[in-house]
Structure 1
């Protein structure tokens, strides 16, 4: 008979997660990346103002790569778009802790995504104020929905000046502050 010891159990608390508007005088850029069956990947993102209003969005299919690299592509595209639109105070919200760590610390582990990370760092060093934050997937639903559309595309990027009909309900729910429950490690 073996002595069974449980290792690695953590207490979890129930939290209610929702999209949060950016700080005053900032815009919020939510980005996401994913890979689906067969490693077909895409990314997406949305730019919103203080009231949750749509300022721009995008998605793209990137072919075959892992989710980490797709997430990096989403950050790069999103920052490039925000810059082109002339916003100089940006709250970048990403639901991947690994991506937030890599772009915040300028330390990459291995060659995976190295060139993309370098491009992101060059953008971040420009004359503007970018705050990088991690938020849970439940606070990033619009970007997630756009990413899922991107996963089904060939290598083309599509920009939206107005919110696409496919995600309008998600945008309205975010604006209303509707929450989603999540168990979080305490």
Structure 2
């Protein structure tokens, strides 16, 4: 890890200061309880009532689809698709924007994680792919290493506008939060330092089914040794 990032610090995740409090613990537990007044809980509740035969209507109030489950609300509904499309950088306006898609995977029989990514120009032209097999670490830590590798590779090639895309919402939240407060994670602090040197960047959510290329590159790391591996030609040629 870069010396300027220093070491990790133990912190309570549910307060901005990192200090534990009874109030924050109570709030955290309460947020995980079902509450029909909260739309996020209302969706699975409507679906479950219909499945048990005690409800008659679970249609989407926006598009009229017969079953509005969580997947439909965030992925399949036409309005959700429109919102995702608007959140992405327009390729016509994004001159010299580089698209960095990342993903992580875990080998079931060993629990060993790996990370991979694909870097393309905004017109889809291949720049470079990469993967890395890691030791024992969490899914979020794996994805953070993935982002760090990708940002370093892009900067080494003197690109200054980066559109990063991942299907891990927690990673997006962690990095965005680090911009307003100092993170307790050394790797997040290092990523934040690098992004401050970039002219423009965006970190967006992408559904897993649209991120298959990065997922395949990550899985390919299991057949290789540890360390960072680069792919100068498109992964489609393998």
What TM-score bracket applies, with the shorter chain setting the length? 0.7 to 0.9
How far does the alpha carbon of each residue in 1:84-134 deviate from its partner, in whole angstroms, 9 at most, with x for none? 01110110111100000001110688x6xx121111111111142111111
Q: Which residue of 2 aligns with 1:54?
A: 126
Dislocated runs of 4+, deviation >3 Å: 5-9, 15-23, 151-154
TM-score between both structures, scaled by the size of structure 2 = 0.59
**1 CA distance for matches of 2:218 and 2:89?**
20
Offset of residue 36 of structure 1: 2.2
Of the candidates 71, 96, 99, which is equivalent to residue 28 of structure 1?
A: 99
Q: Which residue of 2 aligns with 1:125?
A: 196
**2 CA distance for matches of 1:104 and 1:151?**
30
Of the candidates 70, 82, 92, which is equivalent to residue 142 of structure 2?
A: 70
TM-score between both structures, scaled by the size of structure 1 = 0.74
Is the deviation greater in 35-44 or in 69-78?
35-44
**2 CA distance for matches of 1:90 and 1:165?**
23
**1 CA distance for matches of 2:222 and 2:174?**
23
Offset of residue 152 of structure 1: 4.2
Offset of residue 15 of structure 1: 5.0
Q: Which residue of 2 aligns with 1:179?
A: none
Contact 1:62 1:151 in 2 (8 A): no
Contact 2:89 2:163 in 1 (8 A): no
- Classify 1:164/1:87 alpha carbon distance in 2 versus 1 (closer, same or farther; 3 Å): same
Q: Alpha carbon RMSD of aligned pairs, Å? A: 2.8
- Residues paired across the two proteins, number: 160
- Classify 1:84/1:108 alpha carbon distance in 2 versus 1 (closer, same or farther; 3 Å): same
Offset of residue 140 of structure 1: 1.3
- Classify 1:130/1:40 alpha carbon distance in 2 versus 1 (closer, same or farther; 3 Å): same
Offset of residue 166 of structure 1: 5.8
Q: Which has the larger radius of gyration?
A: 2
More helix by proportion, 1 or 2?
A: 2
What is the SS of the residue equivalent to 1:90? Answer: strand
1:79 aligns with 2:147: no
1:145 aligns with 2:222: no
1:156 aligns with 2:227: yes
Q: Structure 1 regions of 5+ residues with no counterpart?
A: 168-186
**1 CA distance for matches of 2:233 and 2:153?**
14
